Amino acid sequence: MNFRIREANPNDIDIIFNFICELAEYEKLRDDVTATPELLNESLFVKKQAEVLIAEVAGDSATIVGSAYNSGNYTAVGFALFFHNFSTFKGRACLYLEDIYVKPEYRGKGYGGQLIKELAAIAVNRKCDRFEWSVLDWNEPSIKFYKSLGAIPMDEWTVYRLTGESLKKLAGL
């Protein structure tokens, strides 16, 4: 197979940032992106608050479809950003997938499935009790894909979020 998954490194910051922006465009949330390559570098590689896997296909950039990112003999076609959370009921760490993205022209080739499979292996190897993520309600292609993997929706749970002024007000700032 001319495909590989590797751990991201600081040289991948621009690739990661571009994938985040493309994902935000797809999710109709581009205006919400306030991340910068510098902030991502600090969070991912200095503070190590999350980890990233890069999906790549082998080939010359001249023969690669679309606007993929070329790195040596491989072209980055997707990424997954994840971190650990914790289950108090299980008493163990869990793996949380914050974002997964495969460039549109590379979808349907199994690359997303391979990223999820690699994350599942990481979760098992690290003795994580759960592997979880969220998906937008309208994103039917992704929902169908996740269900095909055996994932089940957690319908009885609702995600709550504090951001911006509400977060600052609650913090007393």
CB atoms within 10 A of CB 126: 12
Q: Determine which one of 74, 101, 146, 160 is catalytic.
A: 146
Assigned token pair, 53? 């896997």
> Distance between CA atoms of 8 and 43, rounded to whole angstroms?
13
| Cα separation values, 46 from 39, 40, 43, 99, 148, Å | 10, 9, 6, 20, 36
Question: What is the enclosing helix (H) or strand (E) of 140?
Answer: helix 140-148
CB atoms within 10 A of CB 83: 15
Mark whether 74 is an active-site residue: no
Alpha carbons 6 and 118: distance in angstroms, whole number: 10
The catalytic residues are 146
